[in-house]
Amino acid sequence: MNLRVTRVSTDRPARRTRHGRARLSGAARLSGAAPSFSAARLFSAAPLFGAARLSGLTRRSRVPLVVVLAVGVGLVAACGGSGGGTATPAASAGAASALLGPVARATGTPVKIGIITEGKSAISDMSAQDTVADATAKWLNEHRSGIAGHPIELVKCDALGDPGKAADCGNRLVEANVAAAVFGETAVMAAAWKPLHDAHVPVMLYATSDAGPLLDKDSTFVLSDPTAGTIGMPISVAKSLGLKKLTAIVIDVPSAVGLETTVAPAQAKAAGLDFNLVRIPPGTADMTPQLQPVVAGDPGLVFVLGNDSFCISAFNGLRSAGFTGHITSIAQCVTDATRKAVPGSLLNGMQISASSPIGLDNPSTRLYKAVVATYSKGVDTSQQGGMSMFSALAGFQTSVARLTGDITPTSVLSAIRSMPSTELPGAGGLTFQCDGKASTLASSVCTRGSLVATLDAKGQPRSYQVVGASAG
């Protein structure tokens, strides 16, 4: 079955949308009122969530700290270095066929689904997400009956890191009469989301940090819990180890300390844990003086939050201060630089947040590799970006599995809201349910909990596990 794909350009003259609103510039369209309650302020104070999830950022790019952290859901940076790890074997033709499932071809009138990704811009190359979106749609059309028996027709647009182009992408999808939109990773997500939201088009996002999409109760669905990696994960690990205290060592910048000062203490207390926040300025090369009293005071579980240079200093400072307990962190803390600067004895057994189980052989990676191998060429399956697009588009199709009758934005919304708790494709066992109950902070979040990677002495994942309660 040939996949029908439409690529919309953002270079055409502006027109009015089908809802009669004049098309505004990208910056002007972002002036809509933001939610006024405390959760909106919390997410605004921590802009590193989701928007920074550009796992395809080139090594030569110089990216601001707020982008590098991306602490909300954690990129699997530990899997992308040159330090080795257990690669997922390529599936043979026979094995791939078995993994794809029985043939169940979609027929009838195609259904237009919008796809917005970063594409290839000056600071990142996420073009693989376009390729993976095509491959995923072909698989869904041939083996999962598309959407309610209708083949998926993709309408794609690249934001290119430009708010104006992103806003144009959103408007172009509205003009194309898409039934829904699925977003890959882009640093200008809010600009693309706003026109679709205003037109009441359902949008499914792999992850975001923007308050508007996160707090939307009407038509937005987010597949990653923005607090799971930095709050929920260390709390869950501490409880599993029977510890009574959680100490967070955090780089002292607003984007990092926001939720650690406002949300983490209450959630730790509710879990029966004492919470201690240690704020250390960025650029502190030797943290031993700050960490010696922390270690002497029995810190319980230690959670380190920052970029890799900060975390290297924190890890080595803990070691110098004589700490021998359990350490958790985020994936951005474990890079090739970390593996060279921190002893393997300290990395061994460390647990870090993860968004998908890249790098190990497991059901999620086997299915993803089978889809990519069968329906595309040239995709590096060791990188997170492609798998996040696979999860987002396959997750969307899963969420509307019970849809019947005409396929419209309204019927899609109804189907997503009424879906049962179901495993999220490519997520290593996480489940999702988009009924607005998964998060007390963000109405649109569909998952509760996260993946945790346990590292070996080389700083590579040796296993993954789900921590925290799943939705439903």
What are the pLDDT digits (tens) for 371-404?
999 999 999 998 888 999 999 999 999 999 999 9
Give the type of residue at 239: K
pTM: 0.83
Cβ atoms 355, 205 nearer than 8 A: no
Tokens at 217, concatenated? 């109760």
The pLDDT assigned to 346 comes to 97
- 179 secondary structure, DSSP code: S
The pLDDT assigned to 230 comes to 92
CA angle 305, 311, 317 (to 5 degrees): 115
The pLDDT assigned to 15 comes to 42
The pLDDT assigned to 34 comes to 36
Find where tokens 């419209």 sit: 408
Give the type of residue at 162: D
The pLDDT assigned to 154 comes to 98
Instruction: Report the distance separating Cα 444 and Cα 336, nearest Å.
Output: 35
Q: Cα dist. 128→10, 55, 63 in Å?
A: 20, 11, 20
Instruction: Report the distance separating Cα 277 and Cα 245, nearest Å.
Output: 11
- 21 secondary structure, DSSP code: P
Instruction: Report the distance separating Cα 56 and Cα 387, nearest Å.
Output: 12
Collapsing DSSP to helix, strand or coil, 248 comes out as: strand
Collapsing DSSP to helix, strand or coil, 8 comes out as: coil
Cβ atoms 222, 207 nearer than 8 A: yes
Instruction: Report the distance separating Cα 290 and Cα 72, nearest Å.
Output: 26
Comparing CA positions, the residue from 279, 277, 269, 278 lying closest to residue 235 is 269
Cβ atoms 274, 245 nearer than 8 A: yes
Cβ atoms 152, 111 nearer than 8 A: yes
Tokens at 435, concatenated? 């009924």
Q: Give the pLDDT means over successive 10-residue stretches in the chain (472 positions).
A: 67 45 36 41 46 33 37 37 46 78 95 94 84 97 97 96 95 98 90 97 93 94 91 94 97 90 94 97 96 95 96 98 96 94 97 90 95 94 90 98 96 97 94 93 91 95 84 43
The pLDDT assigned to 388 comes to 93
State the alpha helices, DSSP H only, in 342-467. 344-347, 363-375, 384-399, 409-417
Instruction: Report the distance separating Cα 275 and Cα 264, nearest Å.
Output: 8
Give the type of residue at 377: K
**Beta-carbon contacts of residue 332 (< 8 Å; ≥ 6 apart):** 68, 69, 70, 71, 74, 75, 77, 307, 308, 311
Domain spanning 228-354: CATH superfamily:
Response regulator (3.40.50.2300)
**Beta-carbon contacts of residue 31 (< 8 Å; ≥ 6 apart):** none
Sign of CA dihedral 157, 162, 167, 172: negative
Tokens at 425, concatenated? 């494709």
Number of CB atoms found within 10 A of residue 217's CB: 9
CA angle 272, 263, 354 (to 5 degrees): 85
Instruction: Report the distance separating Cα 167 and Cα 153, nearest Å.
Output: 21
Longest C-alpha distance within the chain, in Å? Answer: 69
CA angle 94, 97, 101 (to 5 degrees): 145
The pLDDT assigned to 124 comes to 78
Number of CB atoms found within 10 A of residue 343's CB: 12
Collapsing DSSP to helix, strand or coil, 13 comes out as: coil
Ranges of CATH 3.40.50.2300 domains, the chain: 45-225+360-447, 228-354
- 440 secondary structure, DSSP code: S
Comparing CA positions, the residue from 287, 277, 350 lying closest to residue 313 is 287
Sign of CA dihedral 232, 341, 457, 385: positive
Q: Which CATH class is domain 45-225+360-447?
A: alpha beta
Long-range contacts of 371-375 (CB under 8 A, 24+ apart): 371/100, 371/135, 371/136, 371/139, 372/132, 372/135, 373/90, 373/91, 373/96, 374/96, 374/97, 374/100, 374/135, 374/139, 375/134, 375/135, 375/136, 375/138, 375/139
Tokens at 351, concatenated? 């647990």
